[in-house]
C-alpha cells in the first residue's frame, strides 16, 4: 500500500528549515493551511524577518501574537469543521523577552530593575542568540496550549536555522559559565576567582573610570537582576530541546531541484544528523511536472513548422527533467533512515490566497 505523504495528523509540531529563496515560508504556510483544512487547530509562527508568511495569510507585519486567519475559500473536511482553526504570528524577540521577565521575575521590584536596566534595554532585542531562544520560549507557549493541535514553525534561512535549533543547548552553557558567575559576584567574593577572572573585571573597571559609562555596574545589575530566574530558563531550555526531539515532532527540510540547492540540502542533512536531530521529510519545492507524451505532438493537427518547434522545446524540457532526476537521485541517497522525499509541483502562478496554499499543502507527493 502506498504511504501517505507526510501524515500531518500524527504531529504536534512541524519545524520547516532550509536556505533562503527555496519557498520555505510558503511550504510552512501551506502545511499549516492544509492541516487546518483537515479539521485541526493550528498555529503557524515565523522567525524569518521577511513578512512573506504574514502577507500570504493576509496579516499585518506587527502580528506578534497569534491572530485568527479566516479560512475563506478553503474546503474544510465537514466531519471536523468545528475544530478547524488557523492562527498566525511573527516573532518579536524583545516583546517575548519582556513578557518572560514579567511572568517569571521573583518580584515586581526585580521585574522593574531588569526592564529599566540599560544593558537589557539595548541588548534584549539585538544580542546574538536572544532571538533564537525567544523563539523557543514562544514555541513552548504555543505548544502548551491544550486548544492547539499542531504548531508549524517557519525558521530563519539555512545556517541561522541551525543556530536556532541549537539555542537551548547554548543557553544552558551560558547559564553554567564562569562569565555569569564572575559578573554577578559581589566584590567580597572576588578572592574565589582565578587571576584571569580578576583581570577581566579590572579591565571593565578601568574602562568605566576612563569613559564614565558605569559599564561594570550596569552589567552586574543585568546579571544579578536575573537571580532566581536562571533555573527557570534552564528548565525551559531543556523542555524546548526535548520538544524538538519528540516523536510527534517533524523536522522538514525544504529545497529546490537546482544542483546547488541539492548540494546545500545534503550538507544540511549531514549537520542535522551530527546534531542528533531526525528529519522526517525533505520537500523539493517547484519540482517540474511529468513530461508530456511526444506522440501527442506527432498526432496533433497543426502546421509542420509548429510541430518541429514543439518537439525542440520538448527535447530541451527533457534535458532539464533528466538533470532534475539526477539531482533528486543524489538527494534520495543522502536521506536518513525513515525520511520521506516529497515533491511540491510548481504552480503556474505565485500563491496569493489561502486556497493556493491549501492546494500546495495537499498536493505534496512522494518522489
Which of 72-86, 259-273, 344-358 has the highest average model confidence (pLDDT)?
Answer: 259-273
Q: Which CATH architecture fits 9-287?
A: 3-Layer(aba) Sandwich (3.40)
| Residue 287, beta-bridge partner list | 345
- Poorest-pLDDT segment among 176-180, 224-228, 325-329: 176-180
pLDDT(225) > 80? no
pLDDT(1) > 50? no
| Phi, psi of 168, rounded to the nearest 5 degrees | -60, -45
- Dist CA 275 CA 283 (whole Å): 20
pLDDT(298) > 50? yes
pLDDT(246) > 90? yes
- Dist CA 150 CA 39 (whole Å): 11
- Say if residues 100 and 137 touch (Cβ distance below 8 Å): yes
For residue 43, give the H/E element and its range: strand 41-46
Q: What is the pLDDT of residue 145?
A: 94
CA atoms within 13 A on the CB side of 330: 17
pLDDT(170) > 90? no
Instruction: Look up cell 486567519; give the residue.
Output: 69
Please give the angle made by the CA atoms of 121, 156 and 140, to the nearest 5 degrees: 70
pLDDT(197) > 70? no
- Chain center to CA of 348: 27
Residues in the chain: 367
Q: What is the pLDDT of residue 188?
A: 42
Interval 183-205 mean pLDDT:
45
pLDDT band for position 177 (50/70/90)?
low
- Please name which of 64, 229, 37 lies closest in space to residue 141, comparing C-alpha atoms: 64
Instruction: Look up cell 539595548; give the residue.
Output: 122
DSSP 8-state code for residue 90: E
Please give the angle made by the CA atoms of 102, 96 and 226, to the nearest 5 degrees: 45
Instruction: Look up cell 475544530; give the residue.
Output: 83
Q: What is the pLDDT of residue 129?
A: 64
Cell readout for 265 is 540540502
340 contact partners, CB below 8 Å, separation of at least 6: 3, 5, 6, 280, 281, 282, 366
CA atoms within 13 A on the CB side of 245: 14
pLDDT band for position 31 (50/70/90)?
very high
6: left (phi over 0), alpha (psi -120 to 50) or beta: left
Q: Say which residue, 302 or 193, is predicted with more confidence.
A: 302
pLDDT(33) > 60? yes
Which of 56-60, 123-127, 281-285, 355-359 has the highest average model confidence (pLDDT)?
Answer: 281-285
pLDDT band for position 81 (50/70/90)?
confident
pLDDT band for position 21 (50/70/90)?
confident
Q: Say which residue, 118 or 127, is predicted with more confidence.
A: 118
Interval 231-250 mean pLDDT:
90
For residue 53, give the H/E element and its range: helix 52-56
Neighbours of 340 (CB within 10 A): 20
Q: What is the pLDDT of residue 344?
A: 93
Q: What is the pLDDT of residue 210?
A: 46
- Poorest-pLDDT segment among 174-178, 208-212, 320-324, 343-347: 208-212
pTM to 2 decimal places: 0.81
Tens-digit pLDDT profile for residues 37-80: 989 999 999 876 566 667 778 777 777 889 999 888 888 876 66
First to last CA, the chain: 15
List strand residue ranges (DSSP E) for 262-312, in order: 281-287
Q: What is the pLDDT of residue 121?
A: 78
Q: What is the pLDDT of residue 46?
A: 84
Neighbours of 365 (CB within 10 A): 11
Q: What is the pLDDT of residue 205?
A: 53
Interval 281-299 mean pLDDT:
89
List strand residue ranges (DSSP E) for 231-277, in order: 249-255
- Dist CA 95 CA 199 (whole Å): 36
Neighbours of 194 (CB within 10 A): 10
Amino acid at each position: 500500500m502506498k504511504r501517505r505523504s507526510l501524515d500531518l495528523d500524527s504531529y504536534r509540531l512541524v519545524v520547516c528549515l532550509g536556505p533562503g529563496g527555496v519557498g520555505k515560508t510558503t511550504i510552512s504556510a501551506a502545511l499549516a493551511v492544509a492541516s487546518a483544512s483537515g479539521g485541526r487547530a493550528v498555529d503557524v509562527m515565523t522567525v524569518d524577518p521577511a513578512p512573506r508568511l504574514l502577507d500570504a495569510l493576509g496579516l499585518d507585519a506587527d502580528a506578534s501574537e497569534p491572530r485568527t486567519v479566516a479560512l475563506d475559500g478553503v474546503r474544510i473536511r465537514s466531519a471536523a469543521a468545528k475544530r478547524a482553526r488557523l492562527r498566525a504570528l511573527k516573532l518579536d524577540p524583545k516583546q517575548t523577552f519582556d513578557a518572560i521577565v514579567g511572568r517569571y521575575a521573583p518580584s515586581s521590584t526585580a521585574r522593574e530593575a531588569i526592564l529599566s536596566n540599560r544593558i537589557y534595554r539595548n541588548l534584549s532585542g539585538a544580542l546574538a542568540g536572544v532571538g533564537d531562544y525567544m523563539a523557543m520560549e514562544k514555541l513552548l507557549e504555543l505548544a502548551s496550549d491544550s486548544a492547539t493541535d499542531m504548531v508549524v514553525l517557519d525558521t530563519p534561512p539555512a545556517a541561522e536555522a541551525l543556530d536556532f535549533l541549537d539555542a537551548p543547548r547554548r543557553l544552558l552553557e551560558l547559564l553554567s559559565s564562569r562569565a555569569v558567575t564572575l559578573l554577578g559576584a559581589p566584590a567580597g567574593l572576588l578572592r574565589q576567582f582565578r587571576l584571569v577572572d580578576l583581570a577581566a573585571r579590572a579591565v571593565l573597571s578601568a574602562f568605566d573610570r576612563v569613559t564614565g559609562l558605569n559599564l561594570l555596574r550596569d552589567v552586574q545589575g543585568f546579571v544579578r537582576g536575573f537571580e532566581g530566574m536562571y533555573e527557570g530558563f534552564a528548565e525551559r531550555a531543556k523542555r524546548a530541546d526535548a520538544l524538538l526531539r519528540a516523536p510527534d515532532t517533524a523536522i522538514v527540510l525544504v529545497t529546490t531541484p537546482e544542483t546547488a540547492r541539492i548540494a546545500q540540502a545534503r550538507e544540511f542533512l549531514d549537520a542535522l544528523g551530527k546534531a542528533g536531530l531526525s528529519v522526517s521529510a525533505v520537500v523539493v519545492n517547484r519540482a517540474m511536472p511529468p513530461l508530456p507524451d511526444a506522440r501527442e505532438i506527432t498526432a496533433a493537427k497543426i502546421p509542420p513548422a509548429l510541430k518541429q518547434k514543439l518537439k525542440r522545446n520538448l527535447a530541451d524540457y527533457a534535458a532539464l527533467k533528466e538533470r532534475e532526476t539526477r539531482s533528486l537521485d543524489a538527494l534520495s541517497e543522502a536521506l536518513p533512515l525513515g525520511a520521506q522525499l516529497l515533491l511540491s509541483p510548481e504552480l503556474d502562478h505565485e500563491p496569493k490566497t489561502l486556497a493556493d496554499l491549501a492546494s500546495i499543502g495537499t498536493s505534496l507527493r512522494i518522489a
